[in-house]
Amino acid sequence: MSVSHRVGSDHQLARLLQIGIVLEEVVEARAHHHYQSLDAERDLDPEIEALLADAAEESAAHRERLEAVIADLDAESIPFEDIETLVEAQYAQTKPEDFDGVLYDQLCNEETAYKFYDDLVSAIEASDARFSVDRARLLDTLRSIKEDEADGVEDVTKIMETRD
């Protein structure tokens, strides 16, 4: 057991980036499933439809940026199809029941991703390990993704407030 909040090696960094990729893939796949389930009920709300489309697109873009770093670390990414299958297998038990549930799920996605990148940036900053990727570029990438997630939290919160 380790109480150290630091990233100590390339291997550990690559593992954490893989987790980031999976989180993005979960967001993308769940947004897709929410969309399909709302579509099946023929009750699409344009605002939520746009939010889900944007979320899926943003997650895919984040995933590609993380994949580029992972490749430089000589590690492998996790194919989207694998995570899609896992999301699908568990979706029935974790599916939101209505629009409010979809919004809440989306808020949870954005907040979780923000917290993940925030912790990861802090753990890299606290580390004096030498990584085989450029540290400044790595931190720039992660901070920029973190800011996107912060904007995402704000966007979902605004929609939730206008629907109250």
Partner 1 sequence: MNTADQYLKAIYLIQEMEDGPAATGALADMLDVSPASANEMIGKLESRGLAEHEKYKGVRLTDEGITRARDAIQTYCIIERFLANVLDVEDFRGEARELEAVIDDTVADRLDTIINRNPNCPDCFDADTDACRELEVECEPTAD
Interacting residues toward partner 1 by CB under 8 A: 1-5, 7-8, 12, 15-16, 18-19, 22-23, 26, 30, 78, 82-83, 86-87, 89-90, 94, 108-109, 111-112, 115-116, 119-120, 123
C-beta of 15 vs 32, nearer to partner 1: 15
Reference 152, options 31, 69, 33, 19; nearest CA is 31
C-beta of 15 vs 65, nearer to partner 1: 15
C-beta of 119 vs 134, nearer to partner 1: 119
Tokens of 39: 């579509």
User: Among positive and negative, which fits the CA dihedral 30, 97, 51, 139?
Assistant: negative
Residue 116 Cβ vs partner 1, minimum distance, rounded to whole Å: 5
Residue 81 Cβ vs partner 1, minimum distance, rounded to whole Å: 13
C-beta of 92 vs 136, nearer to partner 1: 92
For residue 9, what is the DSSP state? S
Q: How far is CA 111 from CA 40, 77, 117, in A?
A: 28, 23, 10
For residue 131, what is the DSSP state? P
Residue 13 Cβ vs partner 1, minimum distance, rounded to whole Å: 10
Residue 82 Cβ vs partner 1, minimum distance, rounded to whole Å: 8
Sequence-distant (6+) residues with CB within 8 A of 55 are 27, 28, 31, 106, 109, 110, 152
